[in-house]
């Protein structure tokens, strides 16, 4: 599983002209399942991103997580994070999970996130989404959990 975390002051997802998910301060999480991933990797990645300390404390050090600040979480499916870009000028998506597995794991992460965090919004799996954000910092991190 892959998550690209972006600390944001606000972010939103629009599908067909309608806003379907929006948050104020928090994390925009672009989420991708790879072949071989399961709920085990999804749970590990969610735990890591909920506890990842990317928000400043009183001294300005990154010592607080999205959970600590009660920030928003906007989870957006993005299979292109699994692209193989090692050769040529066109990415290959063979490392990505099948659409069925990707949807299942995306929905699992969203369910688990909503059970563990008060503010969870989402994008729409398989939709043509317009994602806008103001990256705060900018602060961006790549998290990845591999199957054991």
Query: Mind telling me the catalytic residues?
Result: 78-80
> What is the C-alpha separation between 113 and 131, in angstroms, rounded?
20
Q: What is the DSSP string of 84-118?
A: B-SSSSS-B-TTBPPHHHHHHHHHHHHHHHHHH-S
> What is the C-alpha separation between 101 and 77, in angstroms, rounded?
12
């Amino acid at each position: 599983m892959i998550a690209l975390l972006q600390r944001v002051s606000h972010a939103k997802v629009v599908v067909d002209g309608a806003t379907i998910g929006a948050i104020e301060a928090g994390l925009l999480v672009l989420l991708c399942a790879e072949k071989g991933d399961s709920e085990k990797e999804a749970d590990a990645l969610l735990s890591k991103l909920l506890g990842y300390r990317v928000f400043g404390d009183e001294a300005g050090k990154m010592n607080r997580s999205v959970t600590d600040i009660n920030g928003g979480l906007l989870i957006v499916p993005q299979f292109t994070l699994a692209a193989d870009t090692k050769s040529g000028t066109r990415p290959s998506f063979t490392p990505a999970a099948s659409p069925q597995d990707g949807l299942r794991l995306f929905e699992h992460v969203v369910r688990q996130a909503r059970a563990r965090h008060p503010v969870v919004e989402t994008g729409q799996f398989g939709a043509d989404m317009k994602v806008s954000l103001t990256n705060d910092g900018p602060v961006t991190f790549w998290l990845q959990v591999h199957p054991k």
